[in-house]
Amino acid sequence: MNGAKAIVETLLKQGVDVTFGFPGGAVIPLFDAYLNYKGKIKNILVRHEQGAAHAAEGYARASGKVGVCIATSGPGATNLVTGIMDAYMDSVPIIAFGGQVPTSLIGNDAFQESDMMGITLPITKHNFQVRNPNQMSPIIMKSFKIALEGRPGPVYIDLPKDTQVGEVTEPLPREVTIQGFQPTLKPNPVQIERAAEAIVNAERPLFLIGHGVEISNASEELAELVNLTKIPVTTTFMAKGAFDEYSPLSLGTVGMHGRKIANYATVNTDLLITIGCRFSDRITGNLKTYAENAKVIHADIDPAEIGKNVKVDIPIVGDAKNTIMGLTSELKKMKIKEKTKWTKEIKKYKACCDTCVKEKPSKRIHPKDVMLELNDILKPDDIVVTGVGQHQMFAGHFIKRSKPRTFISSGGAGTMGFGFPASIGAKVAKPDVNVFLIDGDGSFQMTIQELGTVKEGNIKVIPIIMNNSYLGMVRQWLELFSDKRYSEVYLGTTPDFVKVAEAYGLKGIRVKKKEELASALKRAVKNDCTTVIDVQIEEESNILPMLPPGGNVKDAFGGCMVAPGKFFEDD
């Protein structure tokens, strides 16, 4: 067998039956090999390699399996870079294959050659360049291990054309070991004990749950721990759905555009029990004042995150599921009582948060109405994917999710254009649920070409375009922080998305009035192909309250805040 066949054989062995890719000269041998494996492996042909990378991400985020994307050398591979970087920032397990010129031409400025090894060094967990066909299978097997184990992340593999064509002379390995890679999965029992004691003694404890809990598939264990301790839970934006947001103990998401009650709890807690979160600047604001009244327990699988941003009192290195189970079993031995004074206070304020202030009547539809309407028809297993911008934050704020891996968004990188291809990957991973995309007109246009992919691939997703012809989030910042000096935020004539969808042989619905939303959504769900819903929304609405960038969490302002820094009437 040649190197290309070895690639397919190894992918099949790793449980891969679908890849997202776009061909080119340097990967002709690889895609040729696919023809010998029809029915066993399939490639979803995208329309831009960036779409392949984000689709692989959507696949991985929805399923927990490794997503695979393929591009040719040179510009094909460099088009994967944004997606690889996005996966790196959000710890998503993907493997990106890039074709490469033959080994004899490397370094010669050959046609469609680029140094992807050098380019992807800082944005991958690791990268490899295959130098001879016998290395093909072991490298791929190592890549899967690296992508999935410990803190997941992207791996890039460079495939010089001659290594795909050349003959494999050694048998494919059964397993591989990596000397320098032994992530700590089991937490230190001493640290678990210390943490449990701190939890029992705290007066105002708070769970801060991050993406790590979702990655670890620990939602059930978390629910048990919360049920035992009756401690309120807030999640980061990335972990939305890791804890049932319909639970009375759920405070929703925390951070720059998080729920008021969640940020209030962070300011007033005396014990921050953090699991699987990296304390991104989006939730901490000014590190000098963040959680200044609280002791911090920080549990994470990546020891480098502990102590990186926030000073930690009780560090716990280990997998989130193991940590949560350890805490539960330790706390069952001790006598833990509900901190009723604290939970009463929280529940009182949460009730206020849940009956949010109505928006002023407006000529066009308010984004919040779209979110609430969508919430009404969402089933627990349905998946919501978002683009990046105001619409993303409206979704995070107002949509409720009860199951993990049902809210998919680009958090760390904030990549506009992520949404549509990611929704494609998510649908391929979970064909039996409805996949909704909440996108902005700016974000959607960045990867709109993937309409071709959903048409040809027969993939049904439901894009809801929040159309106001503005780069909304930037416009909001210019309004709030630059005296409305709008520069380069007006997109002007947005295309008629209904016509664009129809041009691709798909369906489209335009919604101009709030009353039309429900029926449009129902129709799109019923249709048998992708239906783009073009919602004409308010041009200048703001997503508030907000944490001042780089400022203190306690100085949240806007929206339903009583005044800047004052969360509730009698707090």
Q: Pick the closer one to other proteins by CB: 117 or 223.
A: 117
Rounded to a whole number of angstroms, the minimum distance from the CB of residue 309 to other proteins is 10
Element holding 199 (H helix, E strand) = helix 189-201
Out of 17, 107, 111, 121, the residue judged to bind other proteins by CB under 8 A: 121
Q: Pick the closer one to other proteins by CB: 122 or 492.
A: 122
> Interaction with other proteins in 481-510: which residues (CB under 8 A)?
none
Residue 122 CB neighbour total at 10 angstroms: 8
Q: Pick the closer one to other proteins by CB: 169 or 177.
A: 177
**Does the active-site annotation cover 57?**
no
Out of 15, 39, 171, 180, the residue judged to bind other proteins by CB under 8 A: 180
Q: Pick the closer one to other proteins by CB: 278 or 391.
A: 278
Q: For the CA atoms of the chain, what is the radius of gyration?
A: 24
Per CB under 8 A, 307 contacts other proteins:
yes
Q: Take residue 405 and report the two structure tokens written for it.
A: 């891996």
Alpha-carbon distance of 89 to 414, in angstroms, equals: 9
Out of 111, 181, 481, 490, the residue judged to bind other proteins by CB under 8 A: 181
Out of 107, 167, 203, 304, the residue judged to bind other proteins by CB under 8 A: 304
**Does the active-site annotation cover 89?**
no
Position 310, amino acid: V
Task: Return the residue matching tokens 């007006």.
Answer: 490
In 256-297, where does DSSP find H-type helix? 260-268, 281-284
Out of 5, 125, 391, 397, the residue judged to bind other proteins by CB under 8 A: 125
From the list 473, 476, 538, 567, the catalytic residue is 473
Rounded to a whole number of angstroms, the minimum distance from the CB of residue 353 to other proteins is 37
Per CB under 8 A, 146 contacts other proteins:
yes
Contacts with 119 (C-beta within 8 Å, 6 or more apart), sequence order: 78, 81
Q: Pick the closer one to other proteins by CB: 15 or 122.
A: 122
From the list 161, 350, 460, 554, the catalytic residue is 161
Out of 303, 452, 495, 559, the residue judged to bind other proteins by CB under 8 A: 303
Q: How many residues bind other proteins (CB under 8 A)?
A: 17
Binding region for other proteins (CB under 8 A) out of 121-129, 287-295, 423-431, 519-527 = 121-129
Rounded to a whole number of angstroms, the minimum distance from the CB of residue 131 to other proteins is 8
Stretch 16-45: interaction string toward other proteins, x if CB under 8 A? ------------------------------
167 burial type by CB count under 10 A (0-12 exposed, 13-18 middle, 19+ buried): exposed
From the list 9, 49, 57, 245, the catalytic residue is 49
From the list 112, 557, 566, 568, the catalytic residue is 112
Rounded to a whole number of angstroms, the minimum distance from the CB of residue 117 to other proteins is 6
Binding region for other proteins (CB under 8 A) out of 98-106, 119-127, 408-416, 533-541 = 119-127
Indicate the DSSP class of residue 546: B
What is the 3-class SS of 415-478, one letter each residue? CCCCHHHHHHHHHHHCCCCCEEEEEEHHHHHHCHHHHHHHHHCCCCCEEEEEECCECHHHHHHH
> Interaction with other proteins in 456-485: which residues (CB under 8 A)?
none
Alpha-carbon distance of 146 to 169, in angstroms, equals: 25
Rounded to a whole number of angstroms, the minimum distance from the CB of residue 238 to other proteins is 20
What is the 3-class SS of 337-375, one letter each residue? CCCHHHHHHHHHHHHHHHCCCCCCCCCCECHHHHHHHHH
Out of 108, 177, 179, 493, the residue judged to bind other proteins by CB under 8 A: 179
Grouping H, G, I as helix, E, B as strand and the rest as coil, residue 118 is: helix
Q: Is the dihedral of CA 128, 133, 135, 138 positive or negative?
A: positive
Per CB under 8 A, 117 contacts other proteins:
yes
**Does the active-site annotation cover 116?**
no
From the list 111, 311, 334, 502, the catalytic residue is 111
Alpha-carbon distance of 7 to 164, in angstroms, equals: 8
Out of 15, 118, 171, 492, the residue judged to bind other proteins by CB under 8 A: 118
Rounded to a whole number of angstroms, the minimum distance from the CB of residue 393 to other proteins is 28
Out of 36, 75, 173, 178, the residue judged to bind other proteins by CB under 8 A: 178
Please, what is the end-to-end C-alpha distance for the chain in angstroms? 71
Q: Pick the closer one to other proteins by CB: 103 or 289.
A: 103
Residue 392 CB neighbour total at 10 angstroms: 28
Q: Pick the closer one to other proteins by CB: 126 or 475.
A: 126
Q: How far is CA 308 from the centre of its chain?
A: 22
Task: Return the residue matching tokens 């449980």.
Answer: 15
Grouping H, G, I as helix, E, B as strand and the rest as coil, residue 98 is: strand
Per CB under 8 A, 126 contacts other proteins:
yes
Q: How far is CA 288 from CA 291, 293, 309, 334, 551, in A?
A: 9, 11, 10, 34, 10
Q: Pick the closer one to other proteins by CB: 181 or 481.
A: 181
Torsion angles phi and psi, residue 121, rounded to 5 = -50, -50
Q: Pick the closer one to other proteins by CB: 39 or 118.
A: 118
**Does the active-site annotation cover 112?**
yes
Out of 40, 186, 308, 522, the residue judged to bind other proteins by CB under 8 A: 308
Alpha-carbon distance of 99 to 3, in angstroms, equals: 12
Q: Pick the closer one to other proteins by CB: 304 or 562.
A: 304
Alpha-carbon distance of 270 to 464, in angstroms, equals: 41
**Does the active-site annotation cover 341?**
no
Cβ-count burial 556-566 (b if 16+ within 10 Å, e if not): bbebebeeeee
CB of 463 within 8 A of CB of 525? no
* Active centre residues (catalytic): 49, 111-112, 161, 473
User: Which positions touch other proteins (CB under 8 A)?
Assistant: 117-118, 121-122, 125-126, 129, 146, 178-181, 302-304, 307-308
